[in-house]
């Protein structure tokens, strides 16, 4: 009986030692995860893909633009300012400037977005549908039916520009 008890104590000690070694191995593996993958950095044009899509495009009516910002990076999240002080949308027809949405100063002046790796965020902007060569386009004459171009840019160059042609009917 004494030998069986001794064998049981030895087996228990070996089992405990095995569990402790596995826990230590797990801790070491967790320490090896590169923490810089989770450190946000400033976005740049190589990381962020942008699109601008108009909706409700009717002459004389407000036009809503859906802007998407996609972080293509697989290494780092990034931050970008999507406020009117940085995100610019200019509406043109031919060579004529029709409106600048930044001049409208709608929404927050600075709007910091954190884009995780392979994440897409959306921003919605509205053009009042009126022409104003130097401003917002909220007090000018209604834009006529025709073809227009919306160009999205970022003052601080943190994302690539995007253009989209659309027709006011």
Domain layout of the chain by residue ranges: 2-33, 41-168
Q: Extract the runs of DSSP E, i.e. beta strands, from the chain.
A: 41-42, 48-55, 63-71, 78-81, 87-93, 96-100, 112-115, 120-127, 146-154, 162-168
Q: Residues near 18 by Cβ (< 8 Å), separated by ≥ 6?
A: none
* Alpha-carbon span 166 to 54, nearest angstrom: 7
Q: Going edge to edge, which strands form the sheet with 41-42?
A: 41-42, 78-81, 112-115
What is the fold of 41-168? Answer: Immunoglobulin-like (2.60.40)
Which of 121, 51, 54, 53 shows the shortest CA–CA distance to 81? Answer: 121
* Alpha-carbon span 3 to 10, nearest angstrom: 11
Q: What are phi and psi of 82, to 5 degrees?
A: -105, 25
**pLDDT tens column, 53-62:** 999 888 989 9
Mean pLDDT over residues 51-76, rounded? 93
Which of 66, 98, 101 shows the shortest CA–CA distance to 168? Answer: 98
Tell me 118's DSSP state: T
> Is residue 26's pLDDT more than 90?
no
**pLDDT tens column, 36-57:** 667 899 999 999 999 999 998 8
pLDDT, mean over the chain? 86
Q: How confident is the model at residue 18 (pLDDT cuts 50, 70, 90)?
A: confident
């Amino acid at each position: 009986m004494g030998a069986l008890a001794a064998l049981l104590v030895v087996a228990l000690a070996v089992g405990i030692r095995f569990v402790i070694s596995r826990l230590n191995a797990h801790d070491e593996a967790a320490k090896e995860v590169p923490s810089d993958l989770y450190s946000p950095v400033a976005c740049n044009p190589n990381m962020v893909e942008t699109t601008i899509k108009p909706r409700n495009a009717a002459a004389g009516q407000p036009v809503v633009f859906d802007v998407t910002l996609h972080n293509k990076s697989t290494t780092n999240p990034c931050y970008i300012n999507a406020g009117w002080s940085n995100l610019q949308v200019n509406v043109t027809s031919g060579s004529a400037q029709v409106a600048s949405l930044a001049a409208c100063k709608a929404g927050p002046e600075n709007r910091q977005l954190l884009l995780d790796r392979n994440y897409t965020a959306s921003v919605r902007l509205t053009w009042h549908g009126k022409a104003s060569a130097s401003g917002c386009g909220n007090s000018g004459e209604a834009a006529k039916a025709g073809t227009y171009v919306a160009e999205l840019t970022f003052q601080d160059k943190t994302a690539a520009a995007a253009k989209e042609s659309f027709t006011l009917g």
